[in-house]
Structure 1
Amino acid sequence: MYRKAQKQETAAEDFELPFGGKLASDNRWLIMANMIPWSEFEAEYAAIFSAEMGAPAKTFRMALGALIIKEKLGISDRETVEQIRENPYLQYFIGLSCYSNNAPFDASMLVHFRERIDINLVNKVNREMVKQELEKKAEAEKEKKSKAEDSKSEPTNRGKLILDASCAPADISYPTDLGLLNQARKHTETIIDILYNSLLVKTIQKPRTYRNIARKTYLLVAKKRKPTVKERRKAIKRQLQYIKRNLSHIQQLMDLGASLDTLSNRQYKKLLVVAEIYRQQLWLYENKKISIEDRIVSLNQPHIRPIIRGKAGKRVEFGAKLSASCHDGYVFLDHISWDNFNESGDLKSLVEAYKNYTGYYPQSVHVDKIYRTRDNRSWCQERGIRISGPPLGRPPKNVSPEKKKQARDDELIRNSIEGKFGQGKRRFSLGRVMAKLPHTSLTAIAITFLVMNLSTLLSRLFCVFLWQFFKTTSFFPYLINKNAILLDYQQQKLIFALP
């Protein structure tokens, strides 16, 4: 049951502290709390709950705020709850009206928060938050314009759209055929033990699984630094034989009266995954192949697929492939899938989404080589959009300096989305997704993009504050004349170069 709070959102000055005083208005958590449109999406979140039955659920602000705190601080679920319990600013951020020394919820609730808040809702919050800030910026710019500038007609195409794709690796060990078969074999041995113990009348002896011998044969090859192809194939064959025997034993126990109902849901799902792993690995072994469609690379997370990226040091990554767009310094998650896909097919839909979001087509689209297909080029040309990169055909012998400069500038502009991916993977959790379920993993990835845009808004607000501070100082004319300070709002950099 979801019970909407009758009291409106608590203002910062009304937040009750145990020892008196007030919250500082310039605190980052208060500023970020005012940026997020909590109330606009509360009804959509409340729709998944019953209006009458069940215990009251946690509010949308508390659920989303806790996930944002976890991602922003880069901590675990348990540490997130402890940080909220100790910090009044974090308690205000999740919507509490007064400070409490008790934890607002258990650490296990963050798992339910990730299940209830799906990826679509997080993306809506992300886009609406950025849209409100862009509208404020546009209104401020309109006030500064003169009447002569207002009379001029604005161009139909405006802005720069940057597109690229990446992979969010999951937290799994590097998969090998032999290691995957060894895990599958051990799971079948566990199921045999459970089914045999569930028999009321044990008319046969417990089936032999040869688990000790199977483990020794596996370690004999797995511990070698560079086993030969023949040794590896022989070890794979033996593991396949062990799994085949165990699966036949499971069927025999079921014929004698053992029921799969004695297994937990997790064990039953793993048994189905083991059967599919056996089928795939047997086909790969018999046909001497190294790839198969919908290949399973993890027993615990069978939804993960190998994504061929071709990057230096990591030719193949294991996780969700995502396509993102970046404009005006903000990054959005547009397309994500556990299966590999060609990102060039997303260009048209992402450009149309940009038009629906801003009201006009971009002036230029900055992409890498895979997006520059003949179809995409002609489609952009019809709409007056310039696509980055050299034209198709044989390159000319003499290239003008203007085109060289434009090509260099296009690559510099495209570096911004690469920097966003680097920020997400190094600063935040995009480099190793710790969630295990497919839908919670997608939510965790979407939260990363939301937090990155929150950090961008916060840093730009800091730059504006610092600019206003220097304008009020007596050193401002000296600093400007001597080129001592440079503020770049687009790149969000504050560079000091005192002489």
Structure 2
Amino acid sequence: MRPKLPSITRNEDLFRSRLDAIVDGRHELVRLAGLIDWARFDAAFGGLYVDKPGRPGLPTRLMAGLHLLQHAKGLSDDAVCAQWLENPYFQVFCGETYFQHKLPLDRSSMTRWRARIGEDKLEELLAETLMAAQKAKAVDAGKFERITIDTTAQTKAVAHPTDSGLLLRPVEWLNRFARRHGLVLRQSFVRLASRARREVARLIHTRGHKQALREVRRMRTFVGRLYRDIGRKVVGRPDLEAAFRPVAEPIARLLAQKAGDPNKLYALHAPEVECIAKDKARTRYEFGVKASFAVTNARAKGGQFIVGAQACPGLPYDGHTLQSQIAQVERLTGATVERAYVDRGYRGHRLAAPQVYLSNTRGIASPTIKRELRRRSAVEPIIGHTKADGKLERHWLRGARGDAINVILVAAGHNIRLLLAWLRIYCALILTMLSAAPARTSMTNDRPTFA
């Protein structure tokens, strides 16, 4: 059933104080709430609900506001719900009229709402942050025509993959499956596999390297025996075969992969995780998915806004992501991209329009293009902020769809942080000018006159 707006009775008007009488109307969250077109989300997400009798959905403004606040503050689902219950400004931003003492949703409702909306529709959140930035005069529409594009790694919340760690997990999975379905195993291998993993951790970086590899081979043997034992016991039982299939497929893939194979499995619970090699001294490899970001090239009044963000599964070459990234920017902003500035990783993109300029390009006569090309590296701190202040560094959303959703929400959260800072500074500037105006007037009126 479609979401319904909260209804207010006359009794509530008599005995409860309105939030607009409690909070400061000059606060940046209150002012930002007035700049966002919340009806746009109702129109965009309304088709995902059915007009049938049943429990009505949660208000769209409440769910959209919680996700914007969550990624602006870098909070988890539980943390943003807890702060919403304590913070009246959070409640004003999410459309509440009176202060609420009880949470109107369960924490898991945010997970289900994200799954219902999907990554395509959630682009409306990012597009609306850009519209709000234009209303607040933090950025001009002309800034969207010249952008900077770069890719980075969005890391997944998985343990660093090691052979011993990957082989211990199937032993636990298979034993859990056997207990759940009442299967009697010939041997569990839990104690032996745990001991083998400890030996590997103790010996792998010492002179006992060969002995550690021997323990890894033993663990692989344990997993194979368990896998075949349960496979024999579920044959001829369709219900158990169907239940065993999602457990057996990643384990079979893990047992079959070798050191030099492409598209290896790095986490049983997240088979979509990819290994991304990085030229970093502290981290040679990152495990997650490649993400592409497009930001305004020129620094606007409110900062550099993210105008496009998307996940790029499959580790594509950077030049192959350029066309889809530019198309997303034009779709979200409504502006036509004239120039795009990229690094040397995009060489050979073969994109005819718009004009694409690589860093360190020689022979450019235009001083404007030279100046804008020097600002290409300004995208790096923007990506750093999405990892340090946002949730790009380590996200917990499930599956490849969760990767795409998280990238969009991280970009929207970055724009919300810039808007809040801009509104805070803009409001302080106006107050300073208003407080200084009477002083100038009094000095003018008290000017002495001479005969």
**TM-score using structure 1 length:** 0.75
- 1:187 touches 1:271 (CA, 8 Å); kept in 2? no
Task: Give the corresponding residue for 2:402.
Answer: 440
Number of residue-to-residue matches in the alignment: 426
Query: Aligned with 1:47: secondary structure?
Result: helix
Task: Give the corresponding residue for 1:182.
Answer: 168
Q: Tell me if 1:235 matches 2:215.
A: yes
Alpha-carbon spacing, 1:116–1:405, altered in 2? closer, same or farther (3 Å): closer
Q: Which amino acid aligns with 2:266?
A: V
1:336 corresponds to which of 283, 288, 311: 311
Structure 1 position 447, deviation (Å): 1.4
Structure 1 position 441, deviation (Å): 4.0
Distance 2:4 2:18 in 1: 26
Alpha-carbon spacing, 1:17–1:223, altered in 2? closer, same or farther (3 Å): farther
Q: Tell me if 1:248 matches 2:217.
A: no
Q: Which amino acid aligns with 1:335?
A: Q
Task: Give the corresponding residue for 1:212.
Answer: 191
Q: Which amino acid aligns with 2:199?
A: L
Structure 1 position 371, deviation (Å): 1.6
Structure 1 position 246, deviation (Å): 1.0
Give unmatched runs, 5+ long, in structure 1.
Answer: 9-15, 143-154, 199-204, 285-289, 479-499
Alpha-carbon spacing, 1:194–1:471, altered in 2? closer, same or farther (3 Å): closer
Task: Give the corresponding residue for 2:380.
Answer: 418
Query: Aligned with 1:314: secondary structure?
Result: coil
1:89-100 paired onto structure 2 within 5 Å? 89-100=89-100
Task: Give the corresponding residue for 1:151.
Answer: none
Query: Aligned with 2:397: secondary structure?
Result: coil
Deviations 1:139-177 (A, max 9, x none): x999xxxxxxxxxxxx9x984210100111111110012
Query: Aligned with 1:118: secondary structure?
Result: helix
Alpha-carbon spacing, 1:69–1:351, altered in 2? closer, same or farther (3 Å): closer
* Range with greater deviation from structure 2 (209-218 or 61-70): 209-218
Task: Give the corresponding residue for 1:450.
Answer: 412
Structure 1 position 297, deviation (Å): 0.6
- 1:117 touches 1:443 (CA, 8 Å); kept in 2? no
- 1:433 touches 1:445 (CA, 8 Å); kept in 2? no
Task: Give the corresponding residue for 1:389.
Answer: 359
Alpha-carbon spacing, 1:63–1:158, altered in 2? closer, same or farther (3 Å): closer
Distance 1:258 1:164 in 2: 49
Give unmatched runs, 5+ long, in structure 2.
Answer: 9-15, 441-451
Q: Which amino acid aligns with 1:188?
A: L
- 2:68 touches 2:416 (CA, 8 Å); kept in 1? no
* Range with greater deviation from structure 2 (349-358 or 244-253): 349-358
- 1:35 touches 1:129 (CA, 8 Å); kept in 2? no
- 1:304 touches 1:338 (CA, 8 Å); kept in 2? no
1:431 corresponds to which of 351, 374, 393: 393
- 2:203 touches 2:209 (CA, 8 Å); kept in 1? no
Query: Aligned with 1:161: secondary structure?
Result: strand
Alpha-carbon spacing, 1:366–1:312, altered in 2? closer, same or farther (3 Å): farther
Q: Which amino acid aligns with 1:17?
A: S
Query: Aligned with 2:152: secondary structure?
Result: strand
Task: Give the corresponding residue for 2:446.
Answer: none
- 2:293 touches 2:306 (CA, 8 Å); kept in 1? yes
Q: Which amino acid aligns with 1:120?
A: D
Q: Which amino acid aligns with 1:293?
A: P
Alpha-carbon spacing, 1:351–1:102, altered in 2? closer, same or farther (3 Å): closer
Distance 2:310 2:140 in 1: 32
Query: Aligned with 1:117: secondary structure?
Result: helix
**TM-score using structure 2 length:** 0.82
Task: Give the corresponding residue for 2:445.
Answer: none
Distance 1:311 1:84 in 2: 38
- 1:270 touches 1:300 (CA, 8 Å); kept in 2? no
Q: Tell me if 1:464 matches 2:439.
A: no
1:48-447 paired onto structure 2 within 5 Å? 48-131=48-131, 133-134=133-134, 137=137, 159-195=145-181, 197=182, 206-224=185-203, 226-227=205-206, 229-255=209-235, 259-260=239-240, 269-280=246-257, 284=258, 290-327=259-296, 328=300, 329-354=304-329, 357-362=333-338, 364-373=339-348, 375-376=350-351, 379=352, 385=355, 387-391=357-361, 409-410=371-372, 412-447=374-409
Distance 2:329 2:320 in 1: 15
Query: Aligned with 1:318: secondary structure?
Result: strand
Alpha-carbon spacing, 1:134–1:215, altered in 2? closer, same or farther (3 Å): same
Query: Aligned with 1:417: secondary structure?
Result: helix
Structure 1 position 7, deviation (Å): 7.1
- 2:147 touches 2:337 (CA, 8 Å); kept in 1? no
Distance 2:49 2:327 in 1: 34
1:15-54 paired onto structure 2 within 5 Å? 17=17, 21-54=21-54
Query: Aligned with 2:175: secondary structure?
Result: helix
Query: Aligned with 1:429: secondary structure?
Result: coil
Query: Aligned with 1:310: secondary structure?
Result: coil
1:476-495 paired onto structure 2 within 5 Å? none
- 2:72 touches 2:413 (CA, 8 Å); kept in 1? yes
Distance 1:166 1:21 in 2: 45
Query: Aligned with 1:301: secondary structure?
Result: coil
- 1:323 touches 1:336 (CA, 8 Å); kept in 2? yes
Structure 1 position 257, deviation (Å): 5.3
Query: Aligned with 1:306: secondary structure?
Result: strand
Query: Aligned with 2:48: secondary structure?
Result: coil
Distance 2:368 2:242 in 1: 69
Deviations 1:184-208 (A, max 9, x none): 122223323444x25xxxxxx7412
Task: Give the corresponding residue for 1:489.
Answer: none
Q: Provide the aligned C-alpha RMSD in A.
A: 3.7
Structure with greater contact order relative to length (CA < 8 Å, sep ≥ 6): 2
Deviations 1:371-393 (A, max 9, x none): 233724xx25xx5x3614344xx
Q: Which amino acid aligns with 1:32?
A: L
- 2:310 touches 2:408 (CA, 8 Å); kept in 1? no
Q: Which amino acid aligns with 1:97?
A: T
